[in-house]
Structure 1
């Protein structure tokens, strides 16, 4: 297929939802990326000034003593206020708490990254507030990973295409291996990469998802997302991603 025709097909496929993102060609080189200059950080000693919280039902989101605590009974998104522009590496440590509390379900350590809202001025996700219900985010264009979803039984990668009730999921991105789920009360390092067409998700240096997106999302916001769970977050960093 000629290059021009192939690009036209990929654009049509992405815009119509025929495909959500293309898996990396196993024969193609897979570039490595490392943290470059530090762009943003939060050690959670100064409250939530850098974050915007959307909760479906009342819960607790607080930052103190070096930890952001998210203890909520229903859908909650905690948005980092600073817009990001790729290539970026987003890193933080997270813990799914199991200490007998009412929300200590060990489930749903989730994230949106490079999120934009096509219906908002300039695509700014934070230009309008949502209720916290999961379906309220369907119309975003964003990358999403739900680690340990469905009561810690699934770990999934999605590429949202900005259409209500349409969250494309390719079969190979629906993981059910126990090794890819959450471990109660254990700190784990999460790393998200958005570097042009290269989109990756790591847990403790293990790459769980590696995607080559022919129409990449190169700017937008990051959010920690969960529902009926108790999470702890610390050592949040955003770096410019550097190849090599």
Structure 2
């Protein structure tokens, strides 16, 4: 029987705490690792957009984002679905000036309507309203001082950020890892955290390719284990 998108997602959840095993059933696992960063060799694969400065570094296995306001860190390679993207992010609360536990956010399948052939041809400075020109999915996990968790589907229009899903929880916990997985499979749009399906959206007009970014505001995160897996769906 063909494996559906939902079946794939359920199977993926069972492996949420580890890199997929090469011995996993073929129908359960992405077929090929297409992108990775172990954060040992700097920011060569990333582009940063900082509203008011701060620091973004990649060394010793950690991407560290420590910023006083808006920050977006783009993966330079464009990604095409279907794929599964994963990383682990820990909000740091150690008494630092930016150690506000809030805003584990992502853009994915992003395109800037002002320069659709090259996301980076249009400059942006890190303030949130500068991203209204994107067509993209946007997850805000523990945003707004760790009070909201929402999924939006940007449509490339200034001031328009359509809300798709709004959760009262879950929220972030200080110094606790968040093992995130994003599924982009045609009309299926999912965002998982620690094995829990947080956002599950079926988009009749999906964004199936574009750029991925870490996005945060006045916070301090340590991120590791960035991987993107290409898989071949078994469904028709």
- TM-score w.r.t. the length of structure 1 is 0.84
SS at match of 1:228: strand
Matched, 1:37 2:32: yes
Give structure 1 regions of 4+ aligned residues with deviation exceeding 4 angstroms: none
Identify if the C-alpha distance between structure 1 residues 60 and 218 changes in structure 2 by more than 3 Å, giving closer, same or farther.
same
The residue number in structure 2 matching 1:206 is 196
Among 101, 105, 117, the alignment partner of 1:106 is 101
The alpha carbon displacement at 1:121 in A equals: 4.5
The residue number in structure 2 matching 1:6 is none
Matched, 1:153 2:147: yes
The residue number in structure 2 matching 1:7 is none
| Counterpart Cα distance in 1 of 2:69 and 2:113 | 26
| Counterpart Cα distance in 1 of 2:68 and 2:48 | 14
State the superposition RMSD in angstroms.
Answer: 1.4
Q: Deviations over 1:169-218 (max 9, x none)?
A: 14xx11112xx101110112100111110100000111101111111111
Among 76, 87, 98, the alignment partner of 1:92 is 87
Among 167, 174, 179, the alignment partner of 1:175 is 167
The residue number in structure 1 matching 2:185 is 195
Aligned length: 212
The 8 Å contact of residues 191 and 200 in structure 2, kept in 1 or not, is answered as yes
The 8 Å contact of residues 82 and 186 in structure 2, kept in 1 or not, is answered as yes
Matched, 1:70 2:65: yes
| Counterpart Cα distance in 2 of 1:160 and 1:121 | 14
The residue number in structure 2 matching 1:232 is 222
Matched, 1:116 2:111: yes
The alpha carbon displacement at 1:139 in A equals: 1.2
The alpha carbon displacement at 1:106 in A equals: 0.3
Matched, 1:163 2:153: no
Greater mean alpha carbon deviation, residues 201-210 or residues 29-38: 29-38
